Amino acid sequence: MSPVEYFLGLEYFQQRWLCISMGLRVSELRRDFVGNHREVTTSDGITLFLRAWEPSPEDAGNTAILIFHGITAHSGPYEFIGVPLSKAGFPTFGLDLRGHGLSDGNRGDCPSKKRFALDLCEALSFLKETYPRVVTLGHSLGVLSSWIVMDMCPEKIDGAVLLSGARTIRPGFMPKLSSSTKLKIALSSIISPGRPVIKYRREGMTGLDDPLFTFNYTLRFIRLVNLAGIRFSHSLDIPVFVGVGDQDELFSVESVRELYNEIPSKDKQFYVQPGAKHAVFPKGSWTPMIDWLKERFV
């Protein structure tokens, strides 16, 4: 075999792997999933996956919780909060973003900000068909998702919980890219905007052994998930709970409080969880949040 034939063959298998990881395999995994879940068909025809943690019918209330996961993750790891919420009587669902987890879509990608917002609002509309009230719970990147629906389709939500998210991360936490790397990313994104070219890695990340986690992203996805450029265009007539761990590696308590101060709601609460990190929470961390939810939605 000549070197040319070898590399052509290698490229073929790489492309086959990309096809499997970005579409076919996800469909198969979703088809074979045996846990409680729902599937939402979007207005552009793809399937979004909703993992479900539901209380017994006699214990279920009429307020559902919709969890928006953080970057790289999917709904699966949020069982640690989905189960306590369901035990408290809240039907709880975790949305896998387009291109993440068991949802369709090019891995680590979304074609536009408009499509990103439509996916979120359409998932809310799906739940609203069954539940009179829906509260969003966003963690990290999910704070941006919640922020978007509070602005774009506020009539579809009745409350919001924002955890571990702010406009700015701690200085020096993320490594800077070299000029040559930036150039390669820019050129590759111009030629093929749907190709994941940015590796998202940081110290202490979880999910490295989970094939449903996403660590490679397109440039357009990274650009659209920027909370810094989003501002509210109206006041909010819903209660909002904002929480952060005092040991959060990405966001300081002060930066999260700054975001909290921007929220145009008269009914809002700020909570600092002792001992909690960005994605690691001590036992009992959810009690204050669940008590807050019960006061307003039970």
Q: Report pLDDT for 238.
A: 96
The CATH number assigned to the domain holding 234 equals 3.40.50.1820
CB 142 within 8 A of CB 225: no
> How far apart (Å, rounded) are the C-alpha atoms in residues 78 and 85?
11
Beta bridge partners of 290: none
Q: Report pLDDT for 3.
A: 32
Domain assignment of residue 168, yes or no: yes
Q: Report pLDDT for 73.
A: 95
Per-residue pLDDT of the chain (298 residues; tens, 9 = 90+): 333 333 333 333 333 344 444 445 899 999 999 999 999 999 999 999 999 999 999 999 999 999 999 999 999 999 999 999 999 999 999 999 999 999 999 999 999 999 999 999 999 999 999 999 999 999 999 999 999 999 899 999 999 999 999 999 988 766 677 888 888 888 888 899 999 989 887 766 776 788 899 999 999 999 988 877 777 777 889 999 999 999 999 999 999 999 999 999 999 999 999 999 999 999 889 999 999 999 999 9
DSSP state of 38: E
Q: Report pLDDT for 229.
A: 72
Q: At what angle do helices 79-87 and 287-297 cross, to 10 degrees?
A: 40
Q: Report pLDDT for 7.
A: 30
Joined tokens for residue 75: 């709904």
Domain assignment of residue 99, yes or no: yes
Q: Report pLDDT for 54.
A: 97
> How far apart (Å, rounded) are the C-alpha atoms in residues 10 and 101?
26
Domain assignment of residue 293, yes or no: yes
Domain assignment of residue 19, yes or no: no
Domain assignment of residue 11, yes or no: no
Residue 268 has a CB neighbour count (10 Å cut-off) of 17
Domain assignment of residue 152, yes or no: yes
How many domains does one find in the chain? Answer: 1
> How far apart (Å, rounded) are the C-alpha atoms in residues 292 and 118?
29
> How far apart (Å, rounded) are the C-alpha atoms in residues 229 and 151?
13
Domain assignment of residue 21, yes or no: no
Burial pattern 234-244, b for ≥16 Cβ within 10 A else e, equals eebebbbbbbb
Domain assignment of residue 5, yes or no: no
Cα distance between the two ends of the chain: 70
Domain containing 218 equals 33-297
CB 102 within 8 A of CB 30: yes
Question: Widest CA span of the chain, in angstroms?
Answer: 71
